[in-house]
Amino acid sequence: MLFSSTRNLATKVGLSKALSDGIAPDGGLYVPERFPALQVGDFEGVSGLPAIAERFLAPFFSSDPLGPHLADIAADAFNFPAPVKRVLVAGGKLSVLELFHGPTAAFKDFGARFLAACLSRIPRADSRPLTILVATSGDTGGAVAAAFHKRPGVRVVVLYPEGLVSPLQEHQLNCWGDNVSSIAVRGNFDDCQRMVKQAFADRTLAHAMQLSSANSINVGRLLPQAAYYAASSLDLWRAEGACPGYVIPSGNLGNVLACLWARRSGLPVGEVVLAHNANRAVVEFLATGEWQPRPSVATLASAMDVGNPSNMERLRVLHPEWRDLAVQVSAYSVDDDAIRTRIAGDFTVLGETWCPHTATAAEVYARLPADSRRALHWVLVATAHAAKFREIVEPLIGEEVELPPALAGLLALPAHHDTLPAELDALRDYLLALRNP
């Protein structure tokens, strides 16, 4: 299996090269040159997330030096559960795919740990440390920091928008030290993402350092996420003989792409619905065919505050025709008032405690036509534990949200960060100073 750039499909590299580089030389994102034609029967006798992930990912690893290590990589990365929990609702079948049982209580743990497991097994002739740049709107940076903390030969530099992440998220970004550095950028997430992309294109940095990415611009983040859609859809198919639909909280579109890649590969994924907050660029594109990225808007669902999602490039390569894409997925936008109402209401009626992102998906599910809710077994994708947003959730439900043990341990650690303007020059100087302290 080879991987091509979204900006030049004739550019082809192996998986290890795509993972190590993070982004293609022309600034494009790597995508599989083709997708496997898997069938449900190919997974007969295979159960559990690590084993299903290994079977699902095998075609993508074929002929790559990482191929013989796939079983160990899957065991390292998927060593915590992703349960599908049934929720009793009237007028339909509903479950929640809980992706918050990892070390930083967010779905980003899957991709970050998988990428760390891969990069640590790729032989490198260059003896310089690998510097991983991460732009985060909240959860990605903490997951990447946790996955790479104290790994030899790797530095992590996390960029996040100053004042635009939750207090717990910010502590989780800043508490590592050692080989992890955190930067509060005076701007929004799109500024952070732009700075990372500019750094990869900067000749001075390219000559001085070995850079890689761990955002969802890195294909190594999307493949493991596709694996948990493979596993959850198989579980429900085996139980009911029908393809489940998914409602996915959406920001930079990586989680959405992963689900669509699983479906394109032959897994039993039904309808896919994107749940957006007040950042409506994708919703409006699907409605009109006009792609108009814009500055991001700050919302309660901060990890989804993306006005110009990088993975739109991949989405448009997967479905080049707008009308075809609009048939393949649908999208809704939810404002902060609706998020608050849904958190409070579902706690009272269903006994469920949602984070703002999962509440966005729950609100979108409630807005689906009644016939659609009855026709499919729907799965809400729960992307983060509510405890990461206690200052939002607790006043709405009138109770304290218990911290998972892993998060409680992180809060006990001291925190430190640096602050930079949203400028490439500032980031370049910072990175060069890291190389020569």
The pTM assigned to this predicted structure is 0.89
Count other C-beta atoms under 10 Å from residue 325's C-beta: 17
- State residue 436's pLDDT score: 60
pLDDT tens readout for residues 195-229: 998 998 899 998 899 888 877 788 998 999 999 99
Are 30 and 215 in contact by the 8 Å Cβ rule? The answer is no
The 3-state DSSP class for residue 375 equals: helix
Inform me whether the pLDDT recorded for 4 exceeds 60: yes
pLDDT tens readout for residues 81-123: 999 999 999 889 999 999 999 988 999 999 999 999 998 888 8
Comparing C-alpha atoms, which of 379, 382, 378 is closest to residue 359? 382
Inform me whether the pLDDT recorded for 410 exceeds 60: yes
Residue-by-residue DSSP string for 311-324: THHHHHHHS-SHHH
Q: Mention every residue, 6+ apart, whose C-beta is less than 8 A from residue 283.
A: 274, 276, 331, 332, 333
- In the numeric block, the tokens 């029967």 are attached to 41
Structure tokens given for 140: 């990605």
Structure tokens given for 181: 């550095």
Q: Mention every residue, 6+ apart, whose C-beta is less than 8 A from residue 306.
A: 137, 189, 190, 193, 251, 252, 279, 296
Q: What is the mean pLDDT of residues 365-374?
A: 93
Structure tokens given for 96: 């929640």
The 3-state DSSP class for residue 31 equals: strand
The 3-state DSSP class for residue 345 equals: helix
Are 31 and 257 in contact by the 8 Å Cβ rule? The answer is no
Are 328 and 282 in contact by the 8 Å Cβ rule? The answer is no
Q: What is the mean pLDDT of residues 19-29?
A: 90
- State residue 387's pLDDT score: 92
Q: Give the CA dihedral 232, 233, 236, 241, nearest 10 degrees.
A: -160
The 3-state DSSP class for residue 357 equals: helix
Inform me whether the pLDDT recorded for 437 exceeds 60: no
- What's the CA gap between 361 and 98, in Å, rounded? 13
Domains and CATH numbers, the chain: 72-108+220-407 (3.40.50.1100)
- In the numeric block, the tokens 């294909």 are attached to 219
- State residue 125's pLDDT score: 72
**244 Ramachandran zone, left/alpha/beta (phi>0; psi -120 to 50):** beta
Are 68 and 61 in contact by the 8 Å Cβ rule? The answer is no
Inform me whether the pLDDT recorded for 53 exceeds 70: yes
Bridge partners of 155, per DSSP, are 131
The 3-state DSSP class for residue 180 equals: strand
Structure tokens given for 413: 């650690």
The 3-state DSSP class for residue 273 equals: strand
- What's the CA gap between 303 and 270, in Å, rounded? 25
Are 33 and 2 in contact by the 8 Å Cβ rule? The answer is yes
Inform me whether the pLDDT recorded for 130 exceeds 90: no
Long-range pairs for 323-327 at CB < 8 Å and ≥24 separation? 323/289, 325/286, 326/286, 326/287, 326/289
22 pLDDT band, cuts 50/70/90, is confident
Q: Write the secondary structure of 245-256 as one string of H (helix), E (strand) and C (coil).
A: EEEEECCCCHHH
